[in-house]
Structure 1
Amino acid sequence: MDGLIIFSAVLLIGSYLYAAGRTGWSFLRMFSWVLGILLAVLVMVGPLAEQMQRNFISHMYGHLLLGMLSPLLLVLSAPMTLLLRTLPVKYARKVSQLMNSRYVQLISHPVTALLLNAGGLWLLYRTDLFMMMHHYTWLHYLIHFHIFAAGYLFTAVMVEIDPLRHPYSFKYRSIVMIVSIALHQILSKSFYPYPPAGVLPEQAQTGAMVMYYGGDIIELTIIFVMCLKWYRSVRPGKRQFAA
Structure 2
Amino acid sequence: MTGHGTHPGHAGTGGGLLPVLLPALVLLACSGLHLYLVGRARHRNPEPVRSRWRAVSLTAGLALLAVALLPPLAPFAHRDFRGHMAQHLLVGMYAPLALVLGAPVTLLLRNLRPGHGRRLTAVLHSRPVRVVAHPLSALLLATGSLVPLYFTPLYDSLTAHPAGHWLLHVHFLLSGCLFAYVVAGPDPAPGRPGVPARLWLLGCAIAVHAVVSQLMYGGFFTHVHAPVAQVRGGAELMYYGGDIAELLLAAALVTTWRPERRPRPVAAAA
Give me the TM-score of the superposition, normalised by structure 1.
Answer: 0.90
Partner Cα separation in structure 2 for residue 56 and residue 201 of structure 1: 10
> Is the aligned partner of 1:207 residue 2:237?
no
User: Identity of counterpart residues, as a percentage?
Assistant: 35
State whether residues 58 and 99 of structure 2, in contact with CA within 8 Å, keep that contact through their aligned partners in structure 1. yes
Matching of residues 44-123 of structure 1 within 5 Å: 44-123=69-148
Partner Cα separation in structure 2 for residue 46 and residue 95 of structure 1: 37
Q: Which has the higher contact order (CA 8 A, sep 6+)?
A: 2
TM superposition shift of 1:160: 2.9
> Is the aligned partner of 1:233 residue 2:259?
yes
Equivalent residue in structure 1 for 2:218, among 193, 198, 203 = 193
> Is the aligned partner of 1:23 residue 2:41?
yes
Q: Per-residue displacement from partner, 1:97-142 (whole Å, max 9, x unpaired)?
A: 1111111100101100000011222221111111122311111111
Letter in 2 for 1:202: A
Partner Cα separation in structure 2 for residue 37 and residue 228 of structure 1: 22
Aligned length: 234
Letter in 1 for 2:231: A
Is there any run of 5+ residues in structure 2 with no aligned partner, and where?
1-17, 43-47, 262-270
More helix by share: 1
TM superposition shift of 1:72: 0.4
Letter in 2 for 1:12: C
TM superposition shift of 1:220: 0.5
State whether residues 120 and 147 of structure 1, in contact with CA within 8 Å, keep that contact through their aligned partners in structure 2. no
State whether residues 36 and 69 of structure 1, in contact with CA within 8 Å, keep that contact through their aligned partners in structure 2. yes
Question: Which structure has the bigger radius of gyration?
Answer: 2
TM superposition shift of 1:65: 0.6
Equivalent residue in structure 1 for 2:66, among 38, 41, 55 = 41
> Is the aligned partner of 1:216 residue 2:234?
no
Partner Cα separation in structure 2 for residue 114 and residue 167 of structure 1: 13
Partner Cα separation in structure 2 for residue 66 and residue 221 of structure 1: 15
TM superposition shift of 1:234: 6.5
Is there any run of 5+ residues in structure 1 with no aligned partner, and where?
236-243
Which deviates more, 195-204 or 173-182? Answer: 195-204
| Coordinate RMSD, CA, aligned | 1.7
Equivalent residue in structure 2 for 1:11, among 7, 29, 42 = 29
